[in-house]
Every structure is written in structure tokens, then in C-alpha cells.
Amino acid sequence: PMWSTSRPEPALADSAYSAVMSQPVDPDRLKRFSFHVFTKLEGAVTAGMIHLGDRLGLYRALADAATPLSATELAERTGLDERWVREWAYNQAAARIIGVDATVPGQELFDLAPEAVAVLASGDHPAFGMGMFHQLPHLMRTLDDLPESFRTGCGFDYDHHGLEGAIGIERSFEPWSAANLIPVVLPALDGVVDALRAGARVIDIGCGTGSALLQLAEAFPASTFRGYDISQYALGRADAKRDARCLANVTFHDPRRDPVPADGSIDLVLTFDCIHDMTQPAEVVRGIARALAPEGTWLLVDIKALDTFEQNTAKNPMASLMYGMSVMTCMASALSEPGGAGLGTLGLPESRARELARDAGLTRFRRLAVEHSVNAFFEIRP
């Protein structure tokens, strides 16, 4: 049955529970609230279907088709069973993810609008969105581990999500970065492009699978690049990608074994969407300050966030998603060691970033005019 009369533990005291249950329930409000709750379940289930559409090549097949496809045709093109494909397509059409012509019942035709192709099927489009869905099963499996985290306060790092978690993050950020890092972001930094052309020392802290550094290493062969990450899955993939491209000016390191330079020799430090994940962000920022040359630059890219919960929920229509993702990934990482700061996904607003930079002795702080749906971009200097 959909409804259950059992109560989660720990239960309310009997008297308090009785008092709550004795209050009158407005039937119309009850229906609306119940519908609201189950729209969240619908979203979760449809997200699972989006994962399958990506994983099984269903979106790619629809994108490649010159005309709309029936479930039978879609199944034939993907080598899948028609009955399963049809039910998947009904979910996607009902959720308005894919288009449908239902003129003839039982012979529906399915297609993708150009915008849907960009988000669902074009891996090199800046709007491609399948990275987060790629890692969805691994994120959902953390639900088995999170009760213990809630009891102990201790989270888990990104390797907890396995290799597919690292690949999911790569697929999430690589398309936008490939299209915008060199032509849009770097020119917004004072003097950085010229320095890279002449030969600069660059480090990327929290480099993940190395996508940004590999892109830069190809574009600026006179410069040297070092990536740092604690994820063994990410580092292994970064090394493999570097070797496949035969790049000699980029290397990848675990900072616990090969520390970040502290001699003021680095011309450019990069951090993409990772400071809020750090167990000790203030210590990391102090390390960045020690690494930077006197005229060096730190490019800080992190999630757009505001100072309060009220501001975040008022201004960010995806605030609930981000707070939930924080529990499963970002805050979990930031609390993966005793005494972790636990900033979380929306835990690094500009005011906090300025404070961390100032406390580390970095005096010049400028927000860049770079448009991004999720991230804010800052140029920080000694």
C-alpha cells in the first residue's frame, strides 16, 4: 500500500504525537500537500529513467534519427527489447523530456527537440547535462550509508562513489569548460593569457580527472601544469587521459604524498568547484597563498551561493536540489575527516570566500563578469 501508519524512529512522545494527530486536517490542503510530496518521487523516478536513456544510448538514437521513431524502431536501433523501450518512452514523454506524436494510439512516434538534443545527447555541447545523471545510481546507494553519517557526524570522500562518480563529475563539467575556459574565462583574468603563452607554472587543486589542465596543456605548450587531487579514481583517469594525448607538460599528484609548492613560485592556481568540498578550506586557501608568486593569480570557481538559507531559497530555484546533493556529496566530503568544516554545496558565498582570502593574506579580490548558470568566478591575488 502507498500509505503506512508506522512512524519513523525516534517516534514522538505519545502525548505529543496524540496532540498533533488530534488537530483537524483540511482535506483540500491534504490533497495538495500529498500531491506536492509525490511530485518529488516522480522526479526521482524520472531521473532514473533519464540515467537509463543516457546509459542505453536511447537519446543518442533519437537525436541521430532524421524523423520521429516508434518504440519498435527505437528498440531496433539500440538493440533493446521493444516492450521495455516503449514503457521508458512513455515515461519520458509523460514527463515532457522527449516529444511524442500520439495521434495513433499504440503507434506513438517519439523525437527530441533541438534543445533536448543539446542537453541529453550532445556530449560536447556546453549545456550537456548527463554527467549528474551518470552518477545517479552511485549517489542513491549512499542512502544506505547516510543514516550512520547522521548519527556519527562523519561523512565520506568522493572515492566513496567509485570510478563512475569521478566520470560523472568529468561529464558534468567538461563540456562547458571545453567551450569557455580558454576563450571566455582566461581573457577575463588580468595578464594570464600572455603569461601562459610565455611560459607559466600552473597548478589545479582539486583537479579531478584533469580535463581543464589537459585542455590548457595542449593550448599553452610553453607552460607547465600540475594537478592535485585526493581521489585515486580521478588521478588514475587523469594519468590515462594525459598519456593518450602524449602531453609531457602536465602531471597529476596526490597532495598527501607530493605537497603543493609553498615557495611562492606558482603563477596561476586553479580551483574549480572544490573549495566547498574541502574538510579544511581555510588551510587549503593558506596553502594557495603560500604557493602564489607575488604577481600570481588564483582563479576561484565555486557554486553561486548567498549568505543565508532564506536568500538561497528565494533566489535559487534549485536550492532544494543543491542542499540534497550536499548531503550526498559536498557536505559529506567536507565532513569526511574529524573536525571538517562542512561548508556544503551552498556554503561558500562571496562574503565567505573574501574572508578566507583575506585571512590568508590575499588582498586583491575581484568577481569576474563570466556568465554561468551555477558557478561564480573570482580573480584573487596577493
Single-letter code of the amino acid located at 41: L
Q: What pTM did the predictor assign?
A: 0.90
Tell me what the mean pLDDT of segment 24-42 comes to.
95
> What percentage of the chain carries pLDDT values higher than 90?
93
Neighbouring residues of 209: CB distance < 8 A, sequence distance ≥ 6: 166, 167, 169, 170, 234, 237, 238, 241
Determine the Cα–Cα distance for residues 108 and 50; give it in Å rounded to an integer.
19
- Structure confidence at residue 3 as a pLDDT band (50, 70, 90): very low
pLDDT score of 6:
47
Alpha carbon distance 19, 145 (integer Å)? 33
> What is residue 375's predicted lDDT score, i.e. its pLDDT?
96
Does the structure show a pLDDT above 50 at 4? no
Residues with Cβ within 8 Å of residue 369, at least 6 apart in sequence: 188
Task: Provide the mean pLDDT of the chain.
Answer: 94
Residues 244-275 pLDDT 10s: 999 999 999 999 999 999 999 999 999 999 99
DSSP state of 97: S
Residues 6+ apart with CB under 8 A from 31: none
**pLDDT of res. 23:** 85
pLDDT of residue 79: 98
Gap between the Cα atoms of 361 and 1, Å rounded: 60
pLDDT band at 16 (very low <50, low <70, confident <90, very high): low
Taking residues 197-220, what's their average pLDDT? 98
**Residue where the block lists cell 500529498:** 34
Distance CA 161, CA 233 (A): 10
The average pLDDT across 187-192 equals 98
State percent of the chain over pLDDT 70. Answer: 95
Has residue 103 got a pLDDT over 70? yes
pLDDT average, residue stretch 25-53: 96
pLDDT at 177: 94
| pLDDT of amino acid 185 | 98
The whole-number average pLDDT for the span 119-146 is 95
pLDDT greater than 50 at residue 2: no
pLDDT in tens, 327-342: 999 999 999 999 999 9
The residue among 324, 102, 12 whose CA lies nearest residue 316 is 324
pLDDT higher than threshold 70 for residue 8? no
- The pLDDT of residue 5 is above 50: no
Residue 86 pLDDT exceeds 70: yes
Give CA–CA dist 317/304, Å, rounded.
Answer: 12
